[in-house]
Structure 1
Amino acid sequence: MADAPPPTVVIGAGVVGLSTALYLQRSGREVVVIDPLPPPGGASFGNAGMISADTAVPIALPGMLRKIPSWLADPLGPLAVRPSYFPKALPWLMRWIAAGRLPRVLEISDAMRALHKDAFLCWKELLGPQHYGDLVRPVGQVQVWESETETESARLERMLRERQGIPSQPLTPDDLRQMFPGISPKVRRGLLMPGNGYTVSPQRIVQTLHRLFIEAGGTLLAENVMKIVPREAGGYDLMTTVGFHRATEIVMAAGARSVRLLEPLGVRVPLETERGYHVMLPTPNVALTTTISHKSGSFGVTPMEHGLRVAGTVEIAGLEAPPDERRNQALLANIRTLFPDVNTEGHRFWMGFRPSTPDSLPMLGEVARRPGLFLAVGHGHFGMTGGPPSGRLVAQLINRQPTSIAPAPYSPARFR
């Protein structure tokens, strides 16, 4: 009897990896997921939980270059670069600034819209109606500003929303007081984005993907992949800390740690670690019906089943530097400014690694000159939004099926 063909291996058990694994499994493939951490390790655990289907604004925008001196000068600002890491980050930052030129921003926005618009549909496909109703809240998102007039960046964001046909509703200070009792009078205006939403638990929603995958016959190996070795006859061998595995195809979905596995294969990708922080408040005495994105302070607030999560800020410092707990203290100060009567007793801190590309678009697709090696990495701030649609697209590419959206904007080859 001939040996069974090797399975498709997905490296990474976060939201992107498990979404891809489920779509592949439901197409009839045997799938093995490998990750040293139980789901959801890494950024899939500690993110803000926002599902931003109607968000098509990249992180890099015009005018970033003049802001670099302030990033270096303020270690606790919304975006900071540790001076010791700056030389290593500089090539990525220069690509990031280049992606902020307006013609490129328009292209990126179009691609973000195409990928994100089906986020809730894909979550419902993966979870099923019952789990979806339990875990997902498609109730909109409110953006707020402390300025009374529209800022330059807000004008650009409005232009991008209008270009994409994304609906929004301006909110007055009185509207905001009614929606969010106790909100600071410093907040002068807001915007309702009705097409966005959130999950009540990033941890539990990814654990649910994992459980559905296992119940359908999938395998998750708690191992650390050390090296990927191409086979002359096709396919790959994977050397792990405790085993040796063979694969017909590999999906690289290991987040910020993907680089160390790709470089020995001669695959260079501009993937940087945007370190994000959150503070969890178990008894905040603040009741929210939607998430809040504080545009003036560059942080977000999400009501979750175990309390209020305050998340945000970006620190460019690599994978090895220890967390800077002062950034968590800054988030505490931010939420006290937004809601002066908030209760912060019993707060808990967290820091994780966003895998980010310079253009805010993930890398999805097969790697040139490495047949069978597919990337599903680089979602940055939008993993909970782009993860399920990315999993659908990568599964379609692997199965050589017609794709739900044009894959070219996300191709890893755009960075060659």
Structure 2
Amino acid sequence: MTDYVPFNHLTEPADVAVVGAGIIGVACALRLARQGRRVVVIDQQAPGHGASFGNAGHLATEQVFPIADLSILKRLPAMLMDPMGPLRLDWKYMPRALPWFTRLLLNLRPAPFKRTVAGIRALNESSLGAWQRLLATLERPDLLKEDGSLLVFERAESRQALEALQARMTQQQVPVDFWNAQAVRQAAPQLSEQIQGGLFFPQTGHFLDPYRVVCELVQAAKNSGVQFLQRRVEGAHLSEQGVSLLTDQGRLDSRQVLVACGAHSAKLTAALTGKKVPLDTERGYHLMLPHEHQRLPFAVTSLERKFIMTPMTDGLRLAGTVEFAGLDCPPTMERAWQLHRLSKGLFKRDLSAEAATPWMGFRPSLPDSLPIIDRVCDGRVMLAFGHQHLGLTQAAVTAEMIAQMAAPLTGNQAQSLPATAPYRLDRF
């Protein structure tokens, strides 16, 4: 999707300038345009070529807990020393990451942890319905397979941890079923005999091609009058008319701006609001196996090996590692190839890595594991970023929330959406 409209002088300010052409920015732009807004989307890359291109494709409504817990303290030495571990902190980046990790640990105390879980759960519970509504308007419900997902375990000693997780999820009203080894083999017969069982999550699903989803949204947005500009935003300030964005191709004025540029949102947010947000990035990797079709019926995660395998149109995608190394450090593509090594033994016949392609992208993460979804500066600035590894899952419901903030609906028009208080900017 490279057919950006070239730069041209806008004769009048746009109603909304959306900075960021990932899944969240494009979904929001489409919703705003359908409200009758004149919308322009700005990104230095073509739509969907950031984190939205290479995510795991899993509609992860079951993941209501933060990615880290207090055991992270015990794992810190391994995070620093093992470059191939599932959760890695680059030791050179540690001085810059330390304040963020300190806030992360403070948010793991009982009261803030409870607030975090409630905030994630509220978004996730609304996510599937929001995606169903959005895909229905595109007449492409086939892009999402609503067939559940499975978390498997291999070692008998892991069963206790799995049952404890099931109890915690049941407490949070996450639909979950325990499957024994026979049930796993019946549903996914190509998995190894050494798998002992797992947890099945019936209210989840997976996208057959996450990038295609972005492309479909872009086309629908263009059909609704949205203009896409490929340029780099270098600064911004509030103006009498609304907002002025300074780009590498000149100034662009709009009545409102939506900051939705993922891991790159902190600088622009600070320029517009004066608020320094503690935004960092979880660098995620995937390995795409183009010769592996029909291996799995749905997304499968390994409890012990800590990665996910998602069947897609173009093959099988292995994903799920987390690396804290910032925006500037070059990717460690060996981490992507490590995913293939981790898959060995999970199937009766090992996966083929012939013609496999590695990828790395930036997941925007805040220390309380909640996004910022807000409307500030007298309504001139809207914010939608920080969804960590749940950006794809929460994109459609975020778009509905942003659309309602931009033009509040009442009565039968309004969707039942999560309360916005947990996601406000002023919590920092």
TM-score, length-scaled by structure 2:
0.91
User: Structure 2 counterpart of 1:244, which letter?
Assistant: R
Residue correspondence of structure 1 range 97-176 to structure 2 within 5 A: 97-128=105-136, 131-150=139-158, 154=162, 157-176=165-184
Shift of 1:371: 4.7
Instruction: Say whether the 8 Å CA contact 1:51–1:197 is kept in structure 2.
Output: yes
Corresponding residue SS for 1:337: coil
User: Structure 2 counterpart of 1:127, which letter?
Assistant: L
Q: Which of 211, 223, 246 lines up with 1:203 in the alignment?
A: 211
Aligned sequence identity (%): 36
User: Structure 2 counterpart of 1:198, which letter?
Assistant: H
For the residues of structure 2 that align with 1:222 and 1:99, how far apart are their CA atoms? 37
Corresponding residue SS for 1:117: helix
**1:362 maps to which residue?**
371
For the residues of structure 2 that align with 1:334 and 1:152, how far apart are their CA atoms? 22
**2:4 maps to which residue?**
none
Does 1:408 pair with 2:421?
A: yes
Q: Which of 178, 200, 221 lines up with 1:192 in the alignment?
A: 200
Residue correspondence of structure 1 range 314-393 to structure 2 within 5 A: 314-339=322-347, 340-367=349-376, 371-393=379-401
**1:243 maps to which residue?**
250
Instruction: Say whether the 8 Å CA contact 1:293–1:300 is kept in structure 2.
Output: yes
Shift of 1:117: 1.6
Instruction: Say whether the 8 Å CA contact 1:61–1:105 is kept in structure 2.
Output: no
**2:319 maps to which residue?**
311
For the residues of structure 2 that align with 1:95 and 1:151, how far apart are their CA atoms? 32
**Runs of 5+ unmatched residues, structure 2:** 1-10, 411-415
- CA-to-aligned-CA distance 1:343-374 (integer Å, 9 cap, x gap): 2211111011101111221111024x575112
For the residues of structure 2 that align with 1:86 and 1:341, how far apart are their CA atoms? 36
**Runs of 5+ unmatched residues, structure 1:** none
**1:78 maps to which residue?**
86
Instruction: Say whether the 8 Å CA contact 2:258–2:382 is kept in structure 1.
Output: yes
Shift of 1:115: 0.9
User: Structure 2 counterpart of 1:243, which letter?
Assistant: G
**2:74 maps to which residue?**
66
**2:303 maps to which residue?**
295
**2:413 maps to which residue?**
none
C-alpha spacing 1:383/1:156, structure 2 compared with 1 (3 Å): farther
Q: Which of 41, 44, 47 lines up with 2:55 in the alignment?
A: 47
Corresponding residue SS for 1:7: strand
RMSD over aligned Cα atoms: 2.0
Does 1:90 pair with 2:98?
A: yes
Does 1:254 pair with 2:254?
A: no
Instruction: Say whether the 8 Å CA contact 1:255–1:355 is kept in structure 2.
Output: yes
Instruction: Say whether the 8 Å CA contact 1:61–1:101 is kept in structure 2.
Output: no
Shift of 1:5: 5.7
Shift of 1:221: 0.9
Shift of 1:302: 0.4
User: Structure 2 counterpart of 1:209, which letter?
Assistant: L
Does 1:263 pair with 2:270?
A: yes
Q: Which moved more, 1:28-37 or 1:180-189?
A: 180-189
- CA-to-aligned-CA distance 1:154-173 (integer Å, 9 cap, x gap): 45533442223222111112
For the residues of structure 2 that align with 1:297 and 1:25, how far apart are their CA atoms? 43
C-alpha spacing 1:86/1:167, structure 2 compared with 1 (3 Å): same
Instruction: Say whether the 8 Å CA contact 2:293–2:311 is kept in structure 1.
Output: no
For the residues of structure 1 that align with 2:159 and 2:387, how far apart are their CA atoms? 27
For the residues of structure 2 that align with 1:181 and 1:47, how far apart are their CA atoms? 26
For the residues of structure 2 that align with 1:103 and 1:19, how far apart are their CA atoms? 33
For the residues of structure 2 that align with 1:93 and 1:156, how far apart are their CA atoms? 26
User: Structure 2 counterpart of 1:261, which letter?
Assistant: L
**2:3 maps to which residue?**
none
